[in-house]
Chain A
Amino acid sequence: VSAQLVLALPKGRILKESVALLGQAGLEVVLSDDDRALTHESESVRVLVTRNADVATYVELGVADAGIVGKDVLLESAKNVYEPVDLNFQTCRMSLIRAKGASGPIARVASKFPYVTQQYLLKANDLEEIETLFYSSARFIVNRAALKLKAAQLKPLISELRIISKT
Chain B
Amino acid sequence: VIDRKDQRVLSDLLEPLGLAVDLRSALEAIPDLYGDLGVLQQARLLAPWPEALVKLDRLEAVLAEFEDDSELLVDLGMARRLSYYTGITFRAYTFDFGQPLLGGGRYDGALLPFAAGFGIGLERLLNALPNKSERMIADVVTLTDVPARGLREAGVWVERALSDDAFEVRSYAIARGIPFLLTDDGLEALGDRAVPAEYLEILEASS
- A contact residues vs B (CB 8 Å cutoff): 1-2, 60-63, 65, 81-86, 142-149, 151, 155, 162
B99 and chain A: residue at smallest CB distance? A62
Given contacts A148-B73, A149-B93, A155-B35, contact A83 B4 (CB under 8 A): yes
The closest CB in chain A to the CB of B74 belongs to A148
CA–CA, A142 and B98, complex, Å: 10
Q: How far is the CA of A20 from the CA of B203 in the complex (A)?
A: 57
B8 within 8 A of A: yes
Chain B residues within an 8 Å CB radius of A85: 7-8
- Residues of chain B lying within 8 A (CB to CB) of residue A1: 95-96
Spell out B's residues near A (CB within 8 Å): 4-8, 31-32, 34-35, 73, 75, 93, 95-100
Contact of A149 among B5, B7, B8, B95 (CB under 8 A): B95
Tell whether, in the assembled complex, residue B4 and residue A63 are in contact, meaning their CB atoms are under 8 Å apart.
no
Residues of A within 8 A of B97 (CB): 62, 145
When C-beta atoms are compared, the residue in chain B nearest to A146 turns out to be B98
| Minimal beta-carbon separation of B15 from chain A (angstroms) | 14
Given A84-B31, A85-B7; 12 other pairs, CB 8 A cutoff: A2-B96, A61-B98, A61-B99, A84-B32, A142-B5, A143-B98, A145-B93, A147-B5, A147-B34, A148-B34, A148-B93, A151-B35
Q: Is the CB of A82 within 8 A of B5?
A: yes
Q: Are B98 and A145 in contact (CB under 8 A)?
A: yes
Question: A145 and B4: CB pair below 8 A?
Answer: no
Q: Given the complex of chains A and B, what is the CA–CA distance between A2 and B8 in angstroms?
A: 30
